[in-house]
Structures are given as structure tokens and as C-alpha cells.
Structure 1
Amino acid sequence: MYKINIITLGKLKEKYWSDAEQEYLKRLSIFTKTNIIELKEEKFDEKSNHEVIKEKEAEKILKAIHKNSYVIVLDKEGKQFSSEELSKKIIEFKNSSTEISFVIGGPLGLAESILNIAKEKWSFSKLTFTHQMMRVILLEQIYRSFMISEDRKYHW
């Protein structure tokens, strides 16, 4: 069965993010199985070696990625899509029964080792978002993609 995994570092700390995430997971359940895989982020401060921290987080991410999953990382340098283009991409994955694993990095971003295994790099903006906010944005855009593909009214 087609499934979407969202692999992310850190937990949602504020209730409003959790509420939004749960709402979109509920909405998505009529279209696909969506899993949130939360990994513990490494603690760091300004004296920490950020590359070492990112590599430790990368080890956790690699363990969480299923063997045959199509890996897409969210990265500010990634490809940007219109809502209609994104919908076509998501539906292509669904129609081919491809399991997708989206990877959202922590505050330091993603290690090169993760960027290198990604089949695609996507960006939702040139702006930087918190990883908590990005989880909700990603879920909303996936939901919007399904609504567009079925020609259903959503936001108007």
C-alpha cells in the first residue's frame, strides 16, 4: 500500500502545532497512510561541532528510512513547485505505489550524507522555517495535493 513517512528531528513542543498536525493526519487518512517518525535531536550549543552533530542525527535518520522508500529531503536549495505541480508529483508516487520518506532536518539542517542519498530535494520557499512549522506545512501541502488531484474544493 502507498504510504508517506515524514522523518523529523525533534518533537512538536507547542500544542497548536500538534493540533494542526493531527488535523492534517486525520484529513489525509482518507487518501493514504501517513506516518510521523520523530527522532531525538542532538543537543548542541555554540561551542559544539555542528558537522559532528549533523552526522549523529544522520545516523538516526538512516536507520529510520525503510529500505525501498523513495527519499525526498526538504532543503532550501531544493526544487520548488506550484501547488498543481506538487499535486501531480504526489499522485505519480501514489499511482506507482511508491513509499515516500520525507526528511526534515533539525535546527542545523541535514548532513551531506543525507542530502546525498536523497532522490529529490524539495523546497517550499527560499525562506527558512522552523522544523516544527515545516512539518505542518508539508502535511498541508500533501493534503492540498490530494484535494487538487480529485478536483475537490478546499480553500475557496
Structure 2
Amino acid sequence: MRIEIYVVGKLKDFAKIGAQEYIKMLSKYADVKVLELKHTKISDEDQSTVKQDSQRLFSRLKESDYVILLDEKGEECDSFGFARTLESLILQHSKVIFIVGGPFGVDNSVKERADRLFSLSKLTMTHQLATVVLLEQLFRAFKIIHGERYHY
């Protein structure tokens, strides 16, 4: 299975190191890539920023892609539920794309395009931290799917 994570904005320092570490561990289970997409920098929240960032996302997506948008209003589940969902997606799709929005979120058109909205937590977190948490949960899910120990 191929998993792509589109992140609006750059991963820096701890997040880049953490992401690289989890991608290496995940390579046993799936081909996982993190693609950092340029974020349009404007000092205050501006809808044109969100639209430009969302257009960059759309330029990468194909109609056949299964897209999961990380969103604060998305469905929540525990690690076992996430593993069951991932296992089902593995059987149905050759590629799954997760989208981690930028500091001002994503345009509604991205929410409408997404096949599923998923929330990592009710807590608000930066795109950098959300990316590392997502990668950790993907790793944990694959461990659960394969019946391997997942608590450390």
C-alpha cells in the first residue's frame, strides 16, 4: 500500500526528525511519503491564502485518490478503530492520501473533495505536530493489524 501525507507548510526540526524516523519504521509495512507543500505566507488570516494553499493540494490530487482530511470536526476513534479503518482501506485502495492543512485550515472545496474527515484529537495542534502524531498512529495501526506488540 502507498500512503501519502500532504502537509501545507514545512516540517522543521523535531517534526522533520520525527517524521523521518516513523517513515523508516513504516517502510516494513507500506510505502509512506510526506510531501511538504508551500504555504502562502500572509501575516493575518486571509481567505486568498487558504484558497492558494488549497489549489496546490488540488493540483496533486487525482480523481481516483482516496483522500482523508485531518479536521477538528472529523470522526474520532481509538487506535484499534483506526487500525480497523486502515485495514479496510488497504483492501479497497492501492493509495490513500492524508491531508494536513496549514495554519488557517483548508478551503471548503478540499473538505468537499475529501472522502473522509478524521480528527486526531479534540486538541488543536500545529501541522508539524499533527504530522508526527499521524505517522505514529499509522505505525501503531500497522503493528495492531499484524498482531505485533505496539506498546513500548
Which aligned segments of 4 or more residues in structure 1 are displaced greater than 4 angstroms?
none
1:128 aligns with 2:124: yes
SS at match of 1:81: coil
Is contact 1:68–1:99 with CA below 8 Å preserved after alignment?
no
Q: CA deviation at 1:154?
A: 2.0
2:12 is matched with 13
User: How many residues were matched structurally?
Assistant: 152
| RMSD, aligned α-carbons | 1.2
Is contact 1:7–1:64 with CA below 8 Å preserved after alignment?
no
Hey, what's the Cα distance between the residues in 2 that align with 1:51 and 1:44?
A: 10
1:78 is matched with 74
SS at match of 2:70: strand
Identity %: 32
2:62 is matched with 66
Hey, what's the Cα distance between the residues in 2 that align with 1:100 and 1:79?
A: 17
Hey, what's the Cα distance between the residues in 2 that align with 1:34 and 1:87?
A: 16
* TM-score of the pair, normalised by structure 1: 0.93
Consecutive unaligned residues in structure 2, runs of 5 or more:
none
Q: Could you list the per-position Cα deviations for residues 40-63 of structure 1 after superposition, in whole angstroms to 9, with x for gaps in the alignment?
A: 0001112x6x21110111100001
Hey, what's the Cα distance between the residues in 2 that align with 1:97 and 1:79?
A: 20
Q: CA deviation at 1:66?
A: 3.2
Hey, what's the Cα distance between the residues in 1 that align with 2:72 and 2:80?
A: 20
Q: Could you list the per-position Cα deviations for residues 122-147 of structure 1 after superposition, in whole angstroms to 9, with x for gaps in the alignment?
A: 00111100000011000000110000
Q: Which amino acid aligns with 1:84?
A: F
Is contact 2:71–2:119 with CA below 8 Å preserved after alignment?
yes
Hey, what's the Cα distance between the residues in 2 that align with 1:8 and 1:18?
A: 12
SS at match of 2:47: helix
Matches within 5 A, 1:1-156: 2-14=1-13, 16-46=14-44, 50-156=46-152
